[in-house]
Structure 1
Amino acid sequence: MSAWPHLDFSTEQPVYESAHLYLQLIGKLPTRLHPWINHGWHVALRVTPRGFATRTMEANGKSFAVEFDCHGSRIVIGCDSGEATTIALTGQSVAELHGQLSDGLNHMGLPAPLFGAPNELPEVIAFSQDMRDRSWDPDVIRRAHAAFRSVDAVFTRFRAAYLGKSSPSHLFWGSFDLAVTRFSGRRAPLHPGGFPNLPDRVTREAYSHEVISAGFWLGGGGVDEAAFYAYAYPSPEDLAASPVTPRNAYWHKDLGEFVLPYAAVASSADPQECLLGFLETSYDAAAGLAGWPSDLVTARACVGEPAQNFES
């Protein structure tokens, strides 16, 4: 499979939506079983070679994690005792998966706090009551994961060149986007909140400090294709007029952020270089206008070598 596979939002959207809702179920576990990490980082999922996984959680004297295996179309609950429970993903309703996941956790002697409903979606149905048929296609979800995996590698390299506070590259299941966020170290104005089905207190903690963030999502929200984004909070005046590369990148007025179509990166001669250019130029534009410290960025990171030489 190509490292930068073809993605088609127009035909694959139903499968993306199924995966999004399934991931919301998994993502609820660390919100209730893991200590709160600043900016909600504890709830984000990490990209693995096969899918997306929670952080390790401690409960009932056991350590466990849950992985959404995109290549096997299954959910795997793994425990330090060596026990494992597997749930096949076949396009079952969210309510059915809710019951299967609850049963699997209970069978392993683990808590199953899966009550509630999805976050950050305008119209939601409680997990246990969502009986709607879902679409599933193993090939679609494998290709989507391959794209996320390739993006994660570039985001991680971009993160490594920053000396200030930065998030890891991680997947937020509420909005179904992979994101990496840099911080200036300064407090930000109170965020207005207003995200659908998300408490404002969560949003305001996430945006308590100035950020410049970049991410990738499969489409939606006014962009009907897989795409990358970059924005700052608070957003500096005149950011929209700043030049960024590559030439396919543009300012999306409604979203208030730069957008770069995934297809432009995937079809370029060097996708990694193309994406790094977007990440670096959008950061430089926002950081320059916002007056961020100029000594937070180093040379691009290399494997096995520190970005800076501190030897005398």
Structure 2
Amino acid sequence: MRTTGTTRAQAVWPQLRVADWTETRETLHMWTQIVGKVRLAHAPLLNHWWQVALYVSPRGLTTSAVPYGTGVFDIEFDFVDQALRLRASDGGDRRIALESMPVADFHSQVLRALRDLGVPTAIQDHPNEVEPAVPFPVDYEHQTYDPLAARLFWRQLLQANRVLGEFRGRFAGKASPVHFFWGAMDLACTRFSGRRAPRHPGGSPNCGDWVMWEGYSHELSSCGFWPGGGEEGAFYSYAYPEPDGFAESPVAPSEAFYSGENGQFLLPYEAVRTADDPDRALTRFLDSTYVAAAERARWDRASLETDPERWADR
């Protein structure tokens, strides 16, 4: 039986209706693409494009350390003080206020701040995985920024990142970090079977098919969170290639369902937020959808899975 009122566990999972921050979300999406492309311009290629992603930080989203010359720099969206912070290992520091402004202005300010830091950077000047792909230097349409909405979104990511990190810890095989992909604006964590996958068909808007060939070069089970698919966003889980019977597999909790339109299982964020135990509800979804993929595709689960408490008594 559901208890009345809001539990302490529920209180840390913030409420943010997708429809209430559409304009801010679209602006922030373009801003994260610009910062992500800066990392892409300097970081060495990693498998599946892992070098381009951002990471949840104690204050927002960060590139982490990016190499440049014999030093490093980083860029962080600070949703606590509402500033974009750019820092270099030689002591250089620049700050851009996060406030309503056109994407074109944000783009020029970021590149100027990098030049001032001694990190001149040229990036691809248009976004990926969106339609239409308005070039950043002429995008004056996306300019709304609500700092409260951005902070609430970051707090959603904080909780999702925490539970996804625990889920990742139970896998001994190849697995991605928990990271934020700015193309689709989602937080993701991916497990791999170790086997090659058939070439991905591509088809993502304004994104070369070869990008998907690299991203999906090996058989995988991926999960994450994105601000869509539900009234307050949704957790997702899919397999590539999708094994026979995957869509019909039993998963938990009861609010989870397979979306034929999206080709993945979805669990509305609000179903997690309002659960008696949000962490457990999300973990059940992650575990059951992974098992559906691994069992249907006959992964070597005995070799790939591990006990995260294996050294707890030492």
TM-score, normalised relative to structure 2: 0.93
Q: Does 1:280 align with 2:296?
A: no
Alignment of 1:39-54 (within 5 A): 39-54=48-63
Verify the 8 A CA contact 1:60 1:109 in the aligned structure 2.
Answer: no
Does the aligned pair in 2 maintain the 1:248–1:264 contact within 8 Å?
A: yes
Match of 2:257 in 1: 250
1:269 is matched with 276
CA contact (8 A) 2:172 2:305 kept: yes
- Cross-structure match for 2:87: 78
Query: Alpha-carbon deviation of 1:2?
Result: 4.1
Which residue of structure 2 aligns with residue 62 of structure 1?
Answer: 71
Q: How far did 1:147 drift? A: 0.7
Question: Given the alignment of the two structures, is residue 177 of structure 1 paired with residue 186 of structure 2, yes or no?
Answer: yes
Structure 1 position 64, deviation (Å) = 0.3
Q: Identify which of 298, 301, 305 aligns with 1:297.
A: 305
Would the aligned equivalents of 2:23 and 2:142 in 1 still touch at CA under 8 Å? no
Paired residues, number: 304
For the 8 Å contact 2:15–2:232, the answer to whether it is kept is: no
C-alpha deviation, 1:129, in angstroms: 1.1
Secondary structure of 2:301's aligned partner? coil
| 1:183-241 Cα deviation digits (max 9, x unpaired) | 00000011101111111111101100000000100116xx5540000000000111111
In the aligned structure 2, how far is the partner of 1:133 from the partner of 1:212?
34
Gap regions ≥5 residues in structure 1 = none
Indicate the larger mover: 57-66 or 43-52.
57-66
**Match of residue 112 from structure 2:** 103
Go from structure 1 to structure 2 and tell me whether the alpha carbon gap of 1:237 and 1:35 turns closer, same or farther (over 3 Å shift).
Answer: same
In 1, Cα distance between equivalents of 2:47 and 2:263: 24
| CA distance in 1 between partners of 2:211 and 2:147 (Å) | 34
Tell me which residue corresponds to 2:122: 113
Residue 23 to residue 57, structure 1, CA distance change in 2 (3 Å): same
Alignment correspondent of 1:20: 29
Distance 1:110 1:40 in 2: 22
Q: Which residue of 1 aligns with 2:236?
A: 229
Give the match's secondary structure for 1:286: helix
Contact persistence 2:102–2:139 (CA under 8 A): yes
Q: CA deviation at 1:246?
A: 0.4
User: Residues 27 and 142 of structure 2 are in contact (CA less than 8 Å); yes or no, is this contact kept in structure 1?
Assistant: no
With structure 1 as the length reference, what TM-score do the two structures score? 0.94
Whole-Å separation in 2 of the counterparts to 1:127 and 1:224: 29
Shift of 1:60: 3.9
Deviation at 1:298, TM superposition (A): 2.5
What RMSD in Å do the two structures reach over aligned CA positions?
1.7
